[in-house]
Amino acid sequence: MNKPIRKAILPVAGLGTRFLPATKAVPKEMLTIVDRPIVQYVVDEARAAGIEHIVFVTGRNKQVIEDHFDRAYELEDTLQSRSKKEALELLEKIRPTPGATSFTRQQDPLGLGHAIWCARDIIGREPFAILLPDVIIKSHTSCLKQMVDLYDRIGGNIIAVEEVPDDQTQNYGIVALGDKIDDRASQIANMVEKPARGTAPSNLQITGRYILQPEIFDLLSEQGQGAGGEIQLTDSMLKLLETQPFASLKYEGKSYDCGSKAGFLSANIAYALDDSKLASELIPLLNDMLKHPLAAE
């Protein structure tokens, strides 16, 4: 039997420069999609996949993420005295079990690979998941749950992938597929970070969800700085691919890259349209804006 996936890493130490000045004092992960911070969607996805312990790799100015997952005594006391039962239940629901989260600091933003390596002692020698919190995945079944189900069948390392238009592959990490496992899953033969236009081995983008074996930490320990002076996760995954199987999963769902403005705004619209009451107010407003785009000026 494969060792279960109990722990997940959420690297939240990035600078979020694409959202400045909004992210000067507020972490990118705390920007809201409708009424929940981005990081909440990702934590919910991990919990729906049966993850028992979440390790946040944080940096300076990120304390508010820790506060978000803690009890808010004053607020809860006030809600209690005003009999705001629904609001209290909502806060109760999002709070993780005591002891089920860890926070460690990356100190310097030296890249995603370095952020993951910072969690090595908390994860220990067991397979684990990584969820990049700037990507949220809208799906019927938690994307990570779909990956865990595949992992339970085949073990090894699993990477979530999604199709992108052929003329956009140069913007993403792309996988080259090997043998097919089933309709959605295949072995991975290679991975290429941002392939030059016209050279991509497929149109399957690596989407920010991984299940990895602990040997990745040994490889990250040995790895020097790569592209852009950062320690890249892909470089160590490529090394691990030499000795261990990797499979890709074309998950059921759609990702929103909330690290980009267009992705963030479209996630807001997609989740708002999911709420029938909000949608009935929003749709006429959107229609009007599309008909008269300059009316707001």
Residues that bind ligand UTP (CB under 6 A): 11-18, 28, 57, 106, 109-112, 114-115, 132-134, 259
Using the minimum distance from each CB to ligand UTP, give the nearer residue, 11 or 156.
Answer: 11
Nearest by Cα to 130 from 118, 144, 141: 144
Using the minimum distance from each CB to ligand UTP, give the nearer residue, 79 or 115.
Answer: 115
CA neighbor of 100 nearest in space, from 7, 229, 19: 7
- The least distance separating ligand UTP from the CB of residue 26, rounded to whole angstroms, comes to 13
The distance of closest approach from Cβ of residue 220 to ligand UTP in the complex, given in angstroms and rounded to an integer, is 13
Please, what is the Cα angle at 104 between 103 and 106, to 5 degrees? 140
Min. distance of Cβ 5 from ligand UTP in angstroms?
20
Among 72, 62, 126, 65, smallest CA distance to 101 is for 65
Q: Which residue is nearest to ligand UTP (CB)?
A: 14
Nearer to ligand UTP, 25 or 294 (CB): 25
Q: How far is the CB of 254 from ligand UTP (least distance, A)?
A: 19
Cβ nearer to ligand UTP, comparing 79 with 144: 144
9 with 130: CB under 8 angstroms? yes
The per-residue b/e assignment along 197-210, b for 16 or more CB within 10 angstroms, e otherwise, is: eeebebbbbbbbbb
Q: 261-274 and 276-291 are packed helices; what angle lies between their axes, rounded to 10 degrees?
A: 130
- What are the residues whose beta carbons fall under 8 Å from the beta carbon of 294, sequence distance 6 or more? none
Shortest Å distance, C-beta 66 to ligand UTP? 15
Q: How far is the CB of 263 from ligand UTP (least distance, A)?
A: 11
User: Closer to ligand UTP at the Cβ: 21 or 98?
Assistant: 21
Nearer to ligand UTP (CB atom), residue 15 or residue 72: 15
Exposed/middle/buried for residue 235 (C-beta within 10 Å: 0-12, 13-18, 19+): buried
